[in-house]
């Protein structure tokens, strides 16, 4: 009998890669384009978002606030430096969490469809998707006007409940795929809405909070070797093999 079709959803930051891509690239970009004042600006943005998050601000609101820092930046320049950021960062040991990468590549080699789900944005995520063979991005989409980032998003940030909606929409678009056969990988409680939509949730890193909420989930330790097994909630980007 043929193997059932499966979709495999994966968070990115601290699930597939060790860094927080949004902040790491923010520092890289503004340091490259503005020097020391730019690096200071990026650090100030991160510090302010961290302060507000610690004070209880919703992650969705903080995701929107993050993108305001990009207002006025040329989209082509952002994409160019995102490629340079990836080329530099991905060559360093430990950029990818080895166990997750191997698990996703095993899924890919078995014919499963890989989909990255992230609050980060396409310029940063595209080279990661190409590396692991993901064919879709469900992510936050910065708005662009006349080639310049506006500081706003198209639709909602791809955080929390928006991840659930995005996964449900993707599953609904594939009626022959049984969610019970699908997988999702995440590391944080904000990934719970996505993880709960599939029959095979995988907790990367063993978050006690997630383990308590999803006691049936498999736990994948990042350094372990694995043998793998109208409202617009998130932007969707399709990618071919040449991304």
pLDDT (tens digit, 9 = 90+) per residue, 172-221? 999 999 999 999 999 999 999 999 999 999 999 989 999 999 999 999 98
Q: How far apart are CA 201 and CA 239, in angstroms?
A: 24
pLDDT for residue 239: 52
Does 228 score more than 90 pLDDT?
A: no
pLDDT (tens digit, 9 = 90+) per residue, 8-33? 999 999 999 999 999 999 999 999 99
Does 240 score more than 70 pLDDT?
A: no
pLDDT for residue 241: 33
Q: How far apart are CA 99 and CA 204, in angstroms?
A: 9
Does 229 score more than 60 pLDDT?
A: no
Stretch 23-47: mean pLDDT = 97
Q: How far apart are CA 115 and CA 118, in angstroms?
A: 10
pLDDT (tens digit, 9 = 90+) per residue, 126-143? 999 999 999 999 999 999
Residue ranges and CATH numbers for the domains of the chain are 7-238 (3.40.50.1000)
pLDDT for residue 22: 97
pLDDT (tens digit, 9 = 90+) per residue, 145-185? 999 999 999 999 999 999 999 999 999 999 999 999 999 99
Give the model's confidence band at 4: pLDDT under 50 very low, under 70 low, under 90 confident, else very high: confident
Give the model's confidence band at 238: pLDDT under 50 very low, under 70 low, under 90 confident, else very high: low
Give the model's confidence band at 5: pLDDT under 50 very low, under 70 low, under 90 confident, else very high: confident
pLDDT for residue 206: 82
pLDDT for residue 181: 96
pLDDT (tens digit, 9 = 90+) per residue, 67-82? 999 999 999 999 999 9
User: CA nearest 235: which of 89, 119, 144?
Assistant: 119
What's the whole-model pTM score? 0.90
In DSSP notation, the chain reads -PPPP-EEEE--BTTTBSS-HHHHHHHHHHHHHHHHHHHHHHHHHHHHHHHHHHTT--HHHHHHHHHHTTTT-BHHHHHHHHHHHHHHHTTSTTSB-HHHHHHHHHHHHTTPEEEEEESS-HHHHHHHHHHHT--EEEE--EEEETTEEEEEESS--SSTHHHHHHHHHHHHT-TTS-GGG-EEEESSGGGHHHHTTSSEEEEES--HHHHHH-TTSEEE-TTS---------SEEEE--TT-
């Amino acid at each position: 009998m043929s193997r059932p079709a499966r979709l495999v959803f994966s968070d990115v930051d601290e699930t597939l890669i060790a860094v927080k891509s949004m902040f790491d690239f923010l520092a890289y970009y503004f340091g490259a384009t503005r020097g020391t004042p730019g690096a200071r600006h990026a650090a100030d943005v991160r510090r302010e978002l961290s302060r507000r998050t610690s004070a209880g601000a919703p992650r969705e609101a903080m995701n929107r606030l993050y993108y305001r820092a990009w207002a006025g930046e040329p989209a082509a320049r952002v994409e160019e430096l995102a490629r340079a950021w990836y080329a530099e960062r991905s060559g360093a040991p430990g950029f990818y969490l080895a166990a997750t990468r191997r698990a996703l590549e095993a899924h890919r080699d078995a014919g499963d469809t890989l989909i990255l789900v992230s609050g980060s944005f396409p310029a940063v995520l595209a080279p990661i998707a190409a590396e692991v063979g993901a064919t879709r991005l469900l992510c936050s989409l910065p708005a662009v006007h006349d080639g310049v980032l506006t500081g706003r998003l198209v639709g909602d940030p791809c955080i929390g409940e928006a991840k659930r909606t995005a996964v449900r929409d993707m599953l609904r678009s594939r009626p022959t795929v049984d969610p019970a056969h699908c997988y999702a990988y995440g590391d944080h409680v904000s990934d719970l809405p996505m993880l709960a939509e599939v029959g095979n949730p995988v907790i990367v890193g063993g978050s006690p909070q997630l383990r308590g909420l999803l006691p049936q989930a498999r736990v994948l330790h990042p350094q372990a070797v694995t043998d793998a097994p109208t409202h617009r909630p998130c932007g969707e980007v399709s990618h071919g093999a040449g991304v």
